[in-house]
Amino acid sequence: MLENPVNIKSLSGIVTATPTPIKNGSVDVESVRDLARYLVAQGTSALAPIGGTGEYVSLGDSQKLEMVRCTVEAVDGAVPTIAGLIAPGLGEAIDAGKRILRAGADGLLVTTPFYVRPTQEGIVEYFKALSDTLDADLVLYEFPYRTGVSLTAETVQKLGETTRIMAMKACNADTGLQMRVIEAAGDKISILSGDEDVYPLHIAAGARGGLIASSCIVPRIWHKITALVLANELNQALELHAKIRPFLKLLFSEHNPVPLKAALKILGRPCGEPLLPLLNASAETEAQLSKMLPEILALEASMVA
């Protein structure tokens, strides 16, 4: 954990969601260190292990804690480690959250409950209870495609006013709703886009950055897109974003992080195989990645501040 408490509310720029490399049942420490240190050197604002990209739901408790400890040790205080917490209900969330914080995480990236379909007020009370129990700042993770519940702008505003939620990863496909959320709560919490496909538009609307899995591979491009939008060069940002959209489509053509792990293996940064019930990327996906990656890496290498 960082010596000085991390003010997650000030999060901006690119936060990288990292995959979990499992080798012979345990976390591959060297792979974690290699990727984490590379991302820190590329200017990531924070790392987010054991979220969806980190296959939280397929990891054992000991693997989750080992991944958090390895990440914290690898970044060595350079950036915060904001660990995922994906739970269907309060009891499991509190127990897991305490363990993850003891492992050294600086904050928690917490999904809304899934399987059950709580009301908006139920979600507010859920995060109030977490805030009262867990000694950490929270990042709200809204992902209705997975949880089945979409948050209103008014709910996000209330969460920013009454809980320890200091930031939000917003993955709602409703762009109009995203804009209303930024208008209602953007002055209270740091809103980060989780939708790589429309990321420049979210920044233009007032999001402060993004929590993005593909920044494992092209961090400089994402930093450049962000900088262009903030410099009022939206057209240039959209042009650059358009160049990587076919690659992004391929990265999410199978369940995340299946193509991401395949791409990292091709690049010589193996992060292990996907964990069951996920399987390895199809031969077609691997072939397309091998064909597309050289051009994408050339574009990445051409990026300057």
The whole-angstrom separation of Cα 169 and Cα 15 is 10
Spatial CB neighbours of 219, under 8 Å, sequence gap ≥ 6: 14, 16, 39, 42, 43, 44, 300
User: What is the helix, strand, coil percentage profile of the chain, to 5?
Assistant: 50, 15, 35
285 is in an annotated binding site: no
Spatial CB neighbours of 144, under 8 Å, sequence gap ≥ 6: 150, 151, 171, 172
Please state, as a whole number, how many other Cβ atoms lie within 10 Å of the Cβ of residue 24. Answer: 6
Quick check: bond before 144 cis, omega within 30?
Answer: no
Report how many helices (DSSP H) and strands (DSSP E) the chain contains, helices first: 12, 10
CB 73 within 8 A of CB 47: no
Instruction: Please confirm, yes or no, whether 169 is among the known catalytic residues.
Output: yes
C-alpha to C-alpha distances, 47 to 158, 203, 261, nearest whole angstrom: 27, 20, 17
Name the 3-class secondary structure at 49.
Answer: coil
Q: Which of 56, 141, 158, 199 is catalytic?
A: 141
Q: Which of 169, 199, 224, 261 is catalytic?
A: 169
Residues serving a catalytic function are 141, 169
Residue ranges of the binding site for pyruvate: 53
